[in-house]
């Protein structure tokens, strides 16, 4: 049976995963420079060894309303067509190997922006692993902000 | 697509270079038809192309160059003299060859066109026409001397016999140079030989070059790496400051110096003389002049001025457009020039020079200049501005209208410059690379366009400021000065703190923009301190209020990711010495967002004439005044030269009017208020061409920026109408009318004596 590897991470009570092939690296909490007037899902810019990386607040991107933990978020650096982008998450989990037999489309209970981002769920023993579409996860609506 | 052989590619690169050289040679030849060296150079270039394309089997190309070569060989032997038609035909051949080469590059073969007309013309021209027949056998022009001996003989320093003697001595095995032998024999002085060597070097074509071709992509990568190195260096220096270790400090210093040198070196590899772009202009101007029946001489000054390759590329098209415009619209036809008392031949002058870390490029012509009235008319016709506004613009403002999108003064669309691209595109392209363009025109005398562009884009000097606890970098090109106010001075200096403040900078009003407020972040400055960064955005000056100014440094510009598309107030970001990211402010965009670009101002009192109050719904910056207990009035801020307080005792009377002595002149006062309140008079000063008029008001309320739409036309003299500003009915003053009443000569041209 076909298996896939996912880099898992936590956001509130959710266990989420991104295709491990798309993850460049994980960076500990780092100084983030906010970008005023940018869309709210953009938390700011970080310096990744001399490269500018945009940090995206995945909690806002998913439309989660639970309060973020007190600890600063981790940076999950994801490869994209252009420059790498950082997804800010609460904590990093393990890399899990899952088989496609336990995969199902997104549960009906999932609503709001998360529905577009979640590809589906793997029914793991005791909990669900929601996998994200990495391209959509890093996409930002590029409407100019109100002046 | 056919994969091109490396050897064909080499041929293409070489041929393109040869063709560029040909363009230059031909234009020189037209001036000096007897220049044998140039003729020989042209012949060689065409011969090389012909030979090589025969080898590759590009038959059509070979056929064309063959005919051209025949014509050239007759020119070279003096059978024919180079004249206009021949030059045109040969230049046509150069163009055809270029087109074929482009086809080769794209498709791998030399295209379908045989250019029969061109070949026919080239063949026909080989037969000497009676008028052109050289009357007497051509006297061979003095060929430049080729050897040191010839130079010395031609200068009369030695006799041919002495040279022969020295040559014989060399033949017998003397290893010394000819000059050395002659000096040894006391025939000539060392200085003479040295001069002769210089003469020889000047007349010979440049020595075999010591350059190699490098891929621009490689240079770009090197530049990026050096950028990284600069960042690493900055971080290291900051780190070193906290470490007490002599050895470490020395090493850091060394690294610092080497990095700076390396940065300069790599930047230099990307530098190219501006002449690389200019070289095509003689040809452009020649063709244009011929096409419009004009005589134009192109003068170039500062060809060796260097700037970054990307910038060279970026200014190529705008410059070409400007040159075409000048030759096509600027310079008049010869008859008209003569009628106007100018030489029949017009002069187009290009000048480039470095100044303050920037490159200045000037394009000037001695043509007819820009007629401000025609520009006004055109702009109104095209609906770009209202007739009312056009009438109130001064000439300088009017000429700037040519930079508006959709404007083109060419009454007849010619195949030369009326191609739908206007000066607005030129302006946009130059601003895109951080440059500015400025236009000066004197009707009847000519036009000068001045372009300023940075030397390079990748690493720029910037001022680092803080606002709301974050650092921002402001490119130094936009920076004019810094003003710091503290304590009571701060409160007095900034007037009307209500979202749109102004500061009186040496008597002139400077609109202020609060950076933190503009970006929507909380400010964290001491409320008693005000730090103003005075910036220039195009024609406009404004003050950016920041929390603090830290320092200036070289920053490496990094573009923002696609997520920030549409966010124009930043031109990029950079990484600071401590490793944190700082955003780079885009000053023109910031000015735009803050709405300080609405009216032209700050050009000195002479230009800030009491002008545009348009009746339409235009966005304007207005100075709101208070008169009597409850009347509010507004005038365009752009018309105001200064705000003054004048003690009542200073008011005198002359000719039945109230006047004050002001800056060595007598300034009439216009009172808007009924009964004077006590205390000093609040006077709004308008200035134009050395004359001033003062408007006495009771209060100066505010400066606001808003769309102005006149609701009720005014019934009273001096009032255009009423508008609603800040939810209050405000009378919009007819500045022009009011002033005219006080000083009928205010708007009239200054009267001599």
* 3-class SS letters over B31-94: HCCCCHHHHHHHHHHHHHHHHHHHHHCCHHHHHHHHHHHHHHHHHHHCCCCCCHHHHHHHHHHH
The domain B273-370+409-454 having CATH identifier 3.30.565.10: the answer here is: yes
Window 205-224 of B: residues touching A by CB (8 A cutoff) are none
Describe chain B by its helix, strand, coil percentages, rounded to 5. Answer: 40, 25, 35
Q: Which residues of B touch A45 (CB under 8 A)?
A: 560, 573, 581, 583
Split at pLDDT 50, 70, 90, the class of B619 is low
pLDDT at B618: 55
Higher pLDDT: A74 or B124? It is A74
Give the integer Cα–Cα distance in Å for B732 and B718. Answer: 9
Split at pLDDT 50, 70, 90, the class of A6 is very high
Q: Which residues contact B279 (CB under 8 A, 6 or more apart)?
A: B20, B23, B24
pLDDT at B585: 92
Which of A30, A33, A137 is best to mutate for the B interface (most B CBs within 10 A)?
A: A33
Per-residue CA distances from B738 to B598, B671, B735 (Å):
23, 10, 5
| A18 in Cβ contact with A76 (< 8 Å) | yes
Q: Which residues of B touch A44 (CB under 8 A)?
A: 581
Which of B464, B559, B563 is best to mutate for the A interface (most A CBs within 10 A)?
A: B563
A35 to chain B, any CB pair closer than 8 A? The answer is: yes
* 3-class SS letters over B250-303: HHHHHHHHHHHHHHHHHHHHCEEECHHHHCCHHHHHHHHHHHHCCCEEEEEECC
Residues pairing with B632 in the sheet:
B626
Higher pLDDT: B646 or B131? It is B646
3-state secondary structure of B169: helix
Per-residue CA distances from B200 to A129, B196, B207, B683 (Å):
83, 6, 11, 73
> Which candidate from A39, A42, A50 shows the least CB-CB separation from B228?
A50
Q: Which residues of B touch A51 (CB under 8 A)?
A: 558
What integer is the mean pLDDT of B497-524? Answer: 78
Q: List the CATH number of the domain containing A54.
A: 2.40.50.180
Q: Which residues of B touch A47 (CB under 8 A)?
A: 575, 579-581
DSSP code of residue B545? E
Identify the domain containing residue A76 by its residue range: 3-138
B696's enclosing H/E stretch is strand B691-697
Q: Which residues of B touch A39 (CB under 8 A)?
A: 563
> Any alpha helices (H) in B293-402, and if so which ranges?
309-325, 334-339, 372-381, 387-392, 395-400
CA distance A98 to chain B (A): 32
Q: Which residues of A touch B236 (CB under 8 A)?
A: none
For residue B181, pLDDT over 70 is answered with yes
> Token pair of B87, please?
């030059």
pLDDT at A142: 53
* CATH class of the structural domain B460-594: mainly beta
> Which candidate from B558, B575, B593 shows the least CB-CB separation from A147?
B593
- In a domain, residue A8? The reply is yes
Which of the listed ranges B156-165, B545-554, B632-641, B733-742 does the model predict with the highest average pLDDT? B545-554
pLDDT at B415: 44
> Which candidate from A52, A143, A145 shows the least CB-CB separation from B573?
A52
Lowest mean pLDDT among B139-153, B512-526, B644-658: B139-153
Closest CA to A15 of A82, A93, A107, A86: A93
B513-524 CB burial, b ≥16 within 10 A, e <16: bbbbebbebebe
B356 to chain A, any CB pair closer than 8 A? The answer is: no
| B28 in Cβ contact with B44 (< 8 Å) | no
A140 to chain B, any CB pair closer than 8 A? The answer is: yes
Q: What is the CA radius of gyration of chain A?
A: 15
Count chain A–chain B contacts defined by CB atoms under 8 A: 74
> Which candidate from A33, A142, A145 shows the least CB-CB separation from B583?
A33
- Contact between A54 and B566 using a beta-carbon 8 Å cutoff: no
What integer is the mean pLDDT of B456-471? Answer: 83
Q: Which residues of A touch B228 (CB under 8 A)?
A: 50
- Contact between A85 and B581 using a beta-carbon 8 Å cutoff: no
A141 to chain B, any CB pair closer than 8 A? The answer is: no
What integer is the mean pLDDT of B65-82? Answer: 80
Topology of the domain comprising B6-132: 1.20.120
| B600 in Cβ contact with B613 (< 8 Å) | no
Residues pairing with B683 in the sheet:
B644, B696
pLDDT at B710: 64
CA distance B33 to chain A (A): 56
> Any alpha helices (H) in B78-159, and if so which ranges?
84-107, 116-124, 148-154
The domain B216-269 having CATH identifier 1.10.287: the answer here is: yes
Q: Which residues of A touch B519 (CB under 8 A)?
A: 36-37
Split at pLDDT 50, 70, 90, the class of B196 is confident
> Token pair of B206, please?
């440049």
Which of the listed ranges A98-102, B32-36, B531-535 does the model predict with the highest average pLDDT? B531-535
Fold matches, B460-594 and B618-742: yes
B580 to chain A, any CB pair closer than 8 A? The answer is: yes
- Contact between B562 and A142 using a beta-carbon 8 Å cutoff: yes
pLDDT at B138: 45
**Over the stretch B354-373, which tens digit does the pLDDT of each residue have?**
876 678 899 999 988 888 88
**Over the stretch B473-482, which tens digit does the pLDDT of each residue have?**
998 888 888 8
Domain ranges of chain B: 6-132, 148-203, 216-269, 273-370+409-454, 460-594, 618-742
The domain B618-742 having CATH identifier 2.40.50.180: the answer here is: yes
Q: Which residues contact A27 (CB under 8 A, 6 or more apart)?
A: A46, A48, A74, A75, A77, A86
Closest CA to A12 of A95, A79, A112, A88: A88
Q: Which residues of B touch A147 (CB under 8 A)?
A: 593
Mean pLDDT of chain B: 77
> Which candidate from B232, B521, B561 shows the least CB-CB separation from A36?
B521
- Contact between A144 and B560 using a beta-carbon 8 Å cutoff: no
Q: What percent of chain B clears pLDDT 90, i.e. is strictly above it?
A: 5
**Over the stretch B430-455, which tens digit does the pLDDT of each residue have?**
877 777 888 888 888 889 998 988 77
| A38 in Cβ contact with A31 (< 8 Å) | no
The number of folded domains in chain A is 1
Split at pLDDT 50, 70, 90, the class of B713 is low
CA distance B576 to chain A (A): 10
Residue B675: Cβ within 10 Å count? 7
Split at pLDDT 50, 70, 90, the class of B16 is confident
Dihedral sign for Cα A80, A85, A90, A96, please.
positive
pLDDT at A46: 92
Give the integer Cα–Cα distance in Å for B637 and B640. Answer: 5
**Over the stretch A34-45, which tens digit does the pLDDT of each residue have?**
999 988 899 999
**Residues B182, B187, B190: CA angle, nearest 5 degrees:** 65
Mean pLDDT of chain A: 85
Cα B438 to chain centroid distance, Å, stands at 7
For residue B418, pLDDT over 70 is answered with no
Lowest mean pLDDT among B33-42, B170-179, B231-240: B170-179
């Amino acid at each position: 049976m076909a298996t896939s590897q996912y880099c898992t991470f936590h956001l509130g009570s959710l266990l989420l995963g991104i295709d491990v092939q798309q993850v460049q690296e994980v960076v500990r909490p780092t100084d983030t420079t906010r970008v005023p007037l940018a869309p709210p899902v953009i938390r700011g810019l970080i310096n990744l060894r001399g490269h500018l990386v945009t940090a995206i607040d995945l909690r806002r991107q998913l439309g989660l309303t639970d309060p973020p933990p007190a600890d600063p978020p981790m940076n999950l650096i994801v490869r994209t067509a252009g420059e790498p982008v950082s997804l800010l998450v609460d904590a990093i989990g393990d890399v899990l190997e899952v088989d496609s037999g336990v995969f199902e489309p997104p549960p009906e209970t999932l609503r709001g922006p998360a529905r577009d981002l979640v590809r589906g769920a793997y029914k793991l023993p005791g909990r669900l692993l929601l996998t994200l579409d990495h391209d959509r996860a890093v996409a930002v609506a590029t409407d100019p902000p109100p002046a | 697509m056919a994969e091109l052989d490396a050897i064909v590619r080499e041929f293409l690169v070489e041929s393109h270079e040869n063709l560029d050289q040909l363009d230059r040679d031909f234009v020189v030849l037209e001036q000096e038809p007897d220049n044998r060296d140039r003729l020989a150079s042209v012949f060689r270039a065409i011969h090389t192309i012909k030979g090589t394309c025969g080898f590759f089997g590009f038959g059509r190309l070979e056929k064309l160059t063959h005919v051209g070569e025949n014509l050239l060989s007759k020119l070279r032997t003096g059978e024919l003299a180079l004249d206009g038609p021949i030059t045109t035909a040969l230049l046509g051949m150069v163009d055809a060859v270029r087109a074929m080469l482009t086809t080769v590059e794209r498709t791998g073969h030399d295209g379908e066109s045989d250019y029969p007309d061109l070949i026919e013309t080239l063949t026909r021209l080989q037969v000497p026409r009676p008028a052109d027949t050289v009357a007497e056998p051509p006297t061979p022009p003095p060929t430049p001397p080729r050897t040191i001996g010839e130079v010395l003989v031609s200068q009369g320093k030695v006799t041919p016999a002495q040279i022969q003697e020295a040559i014989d001595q060399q033949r017998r095995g003397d290893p010394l140079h000819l000059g050395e032998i002659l000096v040894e024999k006391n025939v000539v002085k060392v200085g003479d030989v040295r001069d002769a060597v210089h003469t020889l070097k000047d007349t010979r074509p440049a020595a075999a070059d010591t350059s190699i071709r490098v891929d621009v992509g490689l240079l770009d990568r090197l530049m990026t790496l050096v950028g990284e190195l600069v960042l690493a260096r900055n971080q290291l220096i900051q780190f070193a400051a906290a470490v007490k270790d002599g050895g470490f400090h020395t090493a850091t210093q060394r690294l610092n110096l080497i990095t700076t040198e390396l940065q300069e070196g790599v930047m230099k590899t990307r530098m190219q003389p501006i002449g690389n772009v200019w070289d095509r202009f003689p040809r452009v101007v020649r063709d244009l002049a011929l096409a419009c029946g004009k005589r134009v001489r192109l003068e170039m000054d500062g060809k060796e001025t260097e700037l970054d390759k990307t910038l060279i590329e970026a200014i190529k098209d705008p410059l070409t457009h400007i040159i075409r415009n000048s030759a096509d619209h600027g310079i008049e036809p010869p008859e008209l020039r003569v009628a106007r008392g100018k030489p029949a031949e017009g002069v187009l002058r290009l000048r480039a020079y470095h100044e303050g870390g920037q490159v200045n490029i000037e394009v000037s012509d001695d043509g007819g200049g820009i007629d401000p009235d025609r520009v006004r008319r055109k702009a109104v016709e095209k609906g770009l501005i209202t007739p009312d506004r056009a009438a109130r613009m001064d000439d300088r403002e009017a000429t700037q209208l040519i930079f508006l999108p959709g404007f083109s003064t060419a009454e007849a669309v010619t195949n030369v410059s009326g191609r739908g691209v206007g000066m607005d595109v030129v302006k946009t392209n130059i601003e895109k690379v951080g440059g500015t363009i400025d236009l000066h025109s004197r009707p009847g005398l000519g036009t000068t366009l001045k372009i300023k562009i940075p030397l390079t884009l990748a690493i720029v000097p910037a001022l680092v400021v803080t606002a709301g606890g974050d650092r921002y970098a402001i490119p130094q090109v936009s920076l004019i000065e810094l003003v710091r106010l503290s304590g009571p001075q701060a409160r007095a200096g900034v007037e009307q703190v209500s979202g749109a403040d102004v500061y009186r900078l040496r008597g002139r009003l400077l609109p202020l923009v609060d950076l933190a407020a503009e970006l929507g972040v909380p400010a964290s400055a001491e409320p008693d301190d005000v730090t103003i960064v005075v910036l220039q955005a195009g024609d406009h000056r404004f003050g950016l209020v920041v929390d603090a100014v830290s320092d200036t440094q070289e920053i490496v510009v990094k573009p923002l990711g696609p997520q920030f598309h549409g966010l124009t107030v930043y031109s990029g970001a950079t990484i600071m010495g401590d490793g944190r990211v700082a955003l780079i402010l885009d000053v023109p965009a910031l000015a735009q967002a803050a709405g300080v670009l609405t009216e032209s101002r700050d050009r000195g009192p002479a230009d800030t004439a009491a002008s545009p109050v348009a009746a339409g719904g235009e966005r304007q910056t207005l100075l709101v005044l208070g008169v009597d207990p409850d009347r509010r009035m507004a005038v365009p801020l752009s018309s105001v030269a200064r705000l003054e307080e004048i003690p009542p005792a200073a008011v005198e009377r002359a000719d039945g009017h109230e006047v004050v002595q002001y800056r060595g002149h007598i300034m009439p006062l216009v009172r808007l208020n009924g009964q004077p309140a006590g205390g000093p008079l609040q006077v709004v000063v308008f200035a134009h061409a050395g004359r001033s008029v003062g408007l006495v008001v009771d209060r100066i309320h505010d400066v606001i920026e808003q769309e102005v739409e006149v609701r009720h036309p005014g019934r009273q003299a001096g009032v255009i109408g009423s508008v609603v500003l800040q939810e209050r009915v405000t009378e919009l003053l007819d500045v022009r009318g009011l002033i005219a009443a006080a000083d009928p000569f205010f708007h009239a041209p200054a009267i001599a004596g």
